[in-house]
């Protein structure tokens, strides 16, 4: 099987789970579509470009499918993920080479769908929002692929930002139970994982079920349920787990207890991706974000009081309908004020079915281009400044994989920077202090001699 993942980290997680589910059924991962008898495209619908890419990639698979049919070998093509969810019927109409369409809530049924296909030689669309516990099926097959792992704790979104397809493709917010999350986390740690990133489209909207009879401890909410801060405290008690992260958060769900966790939970890494999208209140209102620029800045101040070294990251959209030069300047001012360690910047992309797609005053493409270039330049300068500030310092690095050069390992700093260092292979999976000798926009380097002298294993 060959699985290609587009878009967000949730899709990376889902692709890994699909591979694990299929392995016991005789499927083995291969490097290219040409070698595969099953190709799965795990797609993204967030912007037009991402969705279009799927159709062009499917076009490229056509000769492969024809050749395999001609040779009597059966090549099965499946489309999974958010394009499958949003455009399942259309995919099958436009692309007859697609055998299976499976949405993000139903992919745990892939083994069954493939078996049924073998028996009946018929395809199908499975994009129901199933009530059954997808995660129970997935957890049983979970494998660890290195010292850092993702763990989905929450899915879906109830926020309905006017530009966004996620509430339609991923459905309503649902939270996994604390017990199921703890079980999966412990299992990962037993398999050698040292760092876990908790995933959710709105990860900080995570809530445990209310405790029977309410109450439930000092940190619990009035109905006895837990929020993400308390979940972090709980998971941090797992022996052998060294680092915790979570993504992606919404400013509206950034409660006091979660901010406090940055001050008090040592294993919670000082990095937070907190998308703001725009610095203009008028635009934020049009986006239905439910917060103002001032509210966001207050959150940043409080986070920095809790954890002075916290590194911040955000998403921005330029050219949302009605965005004027002044609105855009307000975004630049907010970026200036916060000082981000990194940020993702996008041109507004009209998504069919979302409220913003039919709003008047759509911004012209050249204006979007110009604003994007200006914002990218500012964000890039901040990223370089942030990374450069570590040169000459020691940082604890979790070494995750081999680098491209021989004898080089790549790891991550607490601030999610990539760190390249010439260290022995035996350091894989370990956390060590590395002295940073140079920095670029995308990575830090610890040189060989500095690494040898400066490496202290934790
Ligand atoms: N156009 C451009 N960017 C978008 N995003 C979501 N929807 C759109 C859209 N229609 C961006 C937001 C979000 C990130 C994952 O993708 O910034 O935070
Ligand atoms: Fe999309 Fe907004 Fe939900 Fe994020 S919070 S997934 S941008 S609707």
- If one looks up domain 2-130 in CATH, what number appears? 3.40.50.12160
CA of 201 to the centre of ligand 1 (A): 12
Span 289-315, pLDDT tens digits? 999 999 999 999 999 999 999 999 999
Span 73-109, pLDDT tens digits? 789 999 999 999 998 888 988 898 999 999 998 898 8
Whether pLDDT at 283 is above 90: yes
pLDDT at 127: 63
- For ligand 1, say whether the CB of 351 is within 6 Å of any of its atoms: yes
Cα–Cα dist 260/303, whole Å = 8
Ligand 1 atom closest to the CA of 164, numbered from 1: 7
Round the average pLDDT of the chain to a whole number and report it. Answer: 90
pLDDT at 70: 82
Ligand closest to the CA atom of residue 50: 1
Please choose from 157, 160, 163 the residue to mutate so as to test ligand 1's pocket, defined by most ligand atoms within 8 A of CB: 163
Ligand 2 interacting residues, C-beta cut-off 6 A:
157, 159-161, 164, 166-167, 201-202, 250
Give the max Cα distance, the chain: 67
Span 402-430, pLDDT tens digits? 988 888 999 999 999 999 998 888 889 99
Q: Which CATH class is domain 133-388?
A: alpha beta
Which helix (H) or strand (E) segment is 57 a member of?
helix 48-70
CA of 163 to the centre of ligand 1 (A): 7
* DSSP, res 432: E
Q: Which long-range contacts (CB under 8 A, 24 or more apart) does 296-300 make?
A: 296/251, 296/334, 297/334, 297/337, 297/338, 299/251, 299/254, 299/259, 299/274, 300/274, 300/338
Residue closest via CA to ligand 2's atom 5 equals 159
Domain ranges in the chain? 2-130, 133-388, 394-453
Higher pLDDT, 28 or 120: 28
pLDDT-derived band at 131 (thresholds 50, 70, 90) equals very low
Residue 458's nearest CA partner among 242, 239, 222 is: 242
Span 12-62, pLDDT tens digits? 999 999 999 999 888 999 999 988 999 999 999 999 998 889 999 999 999
Ligand 1 atom closest to the CA of 356, numbered from 1: 10
Ligand closest to the CA atom of residue 356: 1
pLDDT at 116: 79
pLDDT at 415: 98
Cα–Cα dist 52/399, whole Å = 36
User: Quick check: pTM over 0.85?
Assistant: yes
CA of 274 to the centre of ligand 1 (A): 13
Please choose from 6, 9, 10, 46 the residue to mutate so as to test ligand 1's pocket, defined by most ligand atoms within 8 A of CB: 46
- If one looks up domain 394-453 in CATH, what number appears? 2.40.50
């Amino acid at each position: 099987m060959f699985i290609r993942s587009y878009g967000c980290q949730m899709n990376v997680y889902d692709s890994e789970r699909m591979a694990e589910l299929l392995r016991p059924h005789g499927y083995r991962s291969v490097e290219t579509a040409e070698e595969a008898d099953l190709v799965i495209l795990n797609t993204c619908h967030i912007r037009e470009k991402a969705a279009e890419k799927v159709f062009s990639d499917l076009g490229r698979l056509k000769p492969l499918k024809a050749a395999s049919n001609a040779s009597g070998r059966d090549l099965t093509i499946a489309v999974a993920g958010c394009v499958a969810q949003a455009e399942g019927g259309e995919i099958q109409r436009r692309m007859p080479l697609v055998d299976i369409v499976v949405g993000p809530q139903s992919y745990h049924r892939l083994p069954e769908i493939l078996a049924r296909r073998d028996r009946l030689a018929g395809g199908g669309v499975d994009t129901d929002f199933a009530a059954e516990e997808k995660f129970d099926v997935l957890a049983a097959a979970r494998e660890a692929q290195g010292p850092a792992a993702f763990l989905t704790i929450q899915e879906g979104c109830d926020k309905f930002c006017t530009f966004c397809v996620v509430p339609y493709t991923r459905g309503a917010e649902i939270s996994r139970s604390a017990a199921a999350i703890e079980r999966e986390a412990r299992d990962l740690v037993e398999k050698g994982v040292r760092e876990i990133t908790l995933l959710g489209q709105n990860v900080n909207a995570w809530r445990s079920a209310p405790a029977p009879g309410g109450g439930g401890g000092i940190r619990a909410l009035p109905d006895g349920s837990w929020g993400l801060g308390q979940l972090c405290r709980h998971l941090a008690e797992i022996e052998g787990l060294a680092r915790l992260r979570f993504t992606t958060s919404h400013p509206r769900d950034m409660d006091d207890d979660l901010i406090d966790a940055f001050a008090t939970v040592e294993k919670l890494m000082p990095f937070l991706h907190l998308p703001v999208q725009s610095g203009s209140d008028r635009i934020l209102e049009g986006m239905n974000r439910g917060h103002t620029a001032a509210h966001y800045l207050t959150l940043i101040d409080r986070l920095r009081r809790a954890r002075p070294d916290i590194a911040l990251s955000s998403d921005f959209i330029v050219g949302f309908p009605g965005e004027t030069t002044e609105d855009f300047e307000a975004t630049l001012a907010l970026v200036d004020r916060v000082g981000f360690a990194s940020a993702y910047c996008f041109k507004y992309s009209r998504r069919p079915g979302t409220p913003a797609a039919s709003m008047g005053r759509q911004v012209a493409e050249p204006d979007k281009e110009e604003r994007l270039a200006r914002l990218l330049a500012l964000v890039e300068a901040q990223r370089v400044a942030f990374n450069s500030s570590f040169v000459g310092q020691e940082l604890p690095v979790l070494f995750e994989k081999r680098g491209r050069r021989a004898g080089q390992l790549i790891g991550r700093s607490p601030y999610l920077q990539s760190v390249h260092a010439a260290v022995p292979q035996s350091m894989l999976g370990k956390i060590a202090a590395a002295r940073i000798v140079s920095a670029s926009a995308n990575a830090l380097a610890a040189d060989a001699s500095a690494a040898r002298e400066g490496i202290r294993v934790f």
